Structure 1
Amino acid sequence: MYTALAFIPLTCLFFSFVLFFIPFGVFLFLYLQAISLHIYRRKLKLNEPFSKKIWNAARKIIANLWLLHASIWHGYEICGLENIPKNKPAILILYHGTVPVDFYYFVTLMSVDPDRRISVIGDKFLFKIPGLAILMRLFYVHPGTFESCCQDLSDNKLLIISPGGAREAVFSDDYYSLVWNHRSGFAKIALKQNVPIIPAFTQNIREGYRVATFGLSIFRKFYEKYRLPLIPIYGGFPVKMKTFIGEPLYPNQVFPSFADGNGDAIKTKFNDSDYIEKFVNASKTSLENLIKAHQTLPGNIWKGLAQRLTDKPFTLVTTDKVFDKSHLTKKIS
C-alpha cells in the first residue's frame, strides 16, 4: 500500500519534468538547425549572402522539418493566406505566443513562398543569444530600424512583426490580451509607405505552452529591468493550432479623407502622433476581433486537445503541398 502511495508523487514528478523539458526541446531543435547550417556552409564553402538561391535548399529542408512537427503534433493549418498580397508590400502583425512555434512554422514556410519575399523583425533579446545568428540571417530576421523597414517595403517585401514581442509572450493571459506597451513603430512605417497592416493569430498558441504563474511579479520586475524573459515555461501539449490571417487594413480605410486620389498624401502624416495612434488602435481592434472570432476565451487546454482529435487529427504536409494550394491552406469561413 505504502509503495503504491509513493508511486503517485513520483509519477507527478516525472510528468512535471516532461512538461518543463519539452519547451527546452524546442530551443534545442533550433540549435541543432543552427549547427547543421554551420556544417552546410563549411562543407560547401559558402560565402554567398543568405539571399542567394544556393541557400534555398537549406531553407526548404528546415521549413519541411518544422512542418513535420506542425503536422504531427498540432495538425497545423493556415487560413486566409490569400489575404497576403503577392509581390506587394504589406506589414503582417502576429500575436506572440509563449513559445512561438507558430511563428517558426509560418516564417520558415513563407521564406520559401515563390510569390512573396519576407523580412522579419525579431525581438532585441534574440540577438543576445549566442549561436543562433546564422539561423536568423537565413530566415531574414533582423532587429529592424525605421529606415531598413521602409526599404524592405519599397522592395515589395512582406514585413512580419509581433508588436507585443517577448513581453506579450510572457505576460499575456488566458484571454489572449495584447500587450503592446505603446509600441507604434509598425503603424508609423505603414503610414510612411502607405501599405496595409494585416492581422494574424494562431488558435490555441497559449494552450500549447504556458508560463508558470508562481513568482510572476518578480519575473516581471526582472524583465522590465534587464529585458530578458527568463521565466519557467511548461507545456508542449498537442493542441490544435490554426493560423488565421485577417483582411488587410489599409490606411485609407482608417482615414477616409485620403481615399479619393489622395493616397500618397497620407505618407506625410507618418510623424503625426494622432494619425499614428488612430492607426495603432485600428490595427489592435482588427487583431482582437480576429482572436475573439476564432479562439475559445478564456483559453482551455482540454478544449484545444479535443479540437486536435476532432479536426484533422493527422495530415502530413510539405512546402510543395502548401503552395500547390493543398488542404493546409484554406479561406476563412
Structure 2
Amino acid sequence: MAQRRLLDRLPVVHQLRQSVGLQRGMLVAGLIITGVFVLTAILAPVLAPYGYSQLRDEDGTFGAQQPPGPQHLLGTTVGGYDVLSRVIWGTQTAALVIVVAVILSIFIGVLLGLVSGYIGGWLDRVLVVVADAVYAFPSLLLAIVAAIAISGGQSSFWGGILAAAVSITVVFIPQYFRVIRAETVRIKSEAYVESAKVIGASPTRIMTRHVLRNATRTLPLIFTLNSSEAILTLAGLGFLGFGIEPTAAAEWGYDLNKSLSDVTSGIWWTSVFPGLAIVLVVLGITLVGESLNDLADPRLRTRRRADSGPHPTADVSVVPGGTVDDLAGLDTVEHRP
C-alpha cells in the first residue's frame, strides 16, 4: 500500500492513472517514444556500430553515399559517415542540449519572475519590458545571433553543446519569466502570504517557502513543450550552419544540410533518417506535453471521464407524488370531489 501511494505521487504515474480513452493512448505513445529517445541517448556508445566521426574500419574507408547494406544498415553520408551511427549519436547531442538549455532557462526565468512579481515597482517594469522585447524577437534568429556571439558557430563538443544550449536558453527565459511572474503576482495577495507577513517572516522566506512552491506547479508542462522546441531550434541552427561541427559531435540538422544535394540525385537515405529522428522525437515529447496540459485542466479531465462511460438515468419525479411510470395510469384514476 505504501509503495502504491509512493508511485501515485510521481507526476507521470499520477497523470497516467487520470487519463482515459484517447487521452491515455496519446500519453502512452508519447512516453514510449520519449523513453526510447532517452534510452538511445544513454546507450549510444553501445548501440552505435561506429563513432560519430569515424570514416574507416579495418576493411578500409567506408565510402561516400553508400546505399543501405549489411555493413552499413542505413548507408553512408556524402562525407563518408555511417548514417545509423550519426543518428544514434545525435540523440545524445540532442538530449544534452535539452537538459542544459531547459535547466538554465528554468533557473534564470524562475528567479527573475519570482523577484519581479513579488517586489514589483520599477524593477518589475524594466524586467517586463526586456522580457517582452526578447519574446517578440524571432526565436530562431535570436538563437543564431546568440550562437555567433558565443562561439562563432564553430566549437568543440562541449563548447558546441553549451553554445547551442545558451542560445536556446535566451529564447526560453521570457516564457518561464512571464509564467512565474503572473503566478507570483496572484499568489502574493493570498491570505496565507499575508499571514506570513503579519507574523514577521522575511521576504526571502516568503518567496522560497510559500510563493515559489505554488508558482512552479505548471513548470513540468512548460518543460515538455519547450523540450520539443529545443530540438527544432537545435536542428535549425545545425541546418543553417551555426551548429556543432561533425568532427565534434553528431547533429541531425547538420546532416540534413549536407544531404540537400543528395535529394535531387535520388540518394534518399542521407536525409530521410535524420529527418525521421527529428519528427519522432518532437512528436513524442509534444504528445506528452499536450496530454499533461489537458489533464491539468479539471474541465477537460472531468469531461473525458464523463464521456468514457454510459450515463445512468436517474429515476426522478416529474409530477407531484409520482414518477414518469405513473403517467400511464393517470387515465384510470378515479377523481373524487
Larger-Rg structure = 2
Give the TM-score normalised by structure 2.
0.23
Give the TM-score normalised by structure 1.
0.23
- Bigger fraction of residues in strand: 1
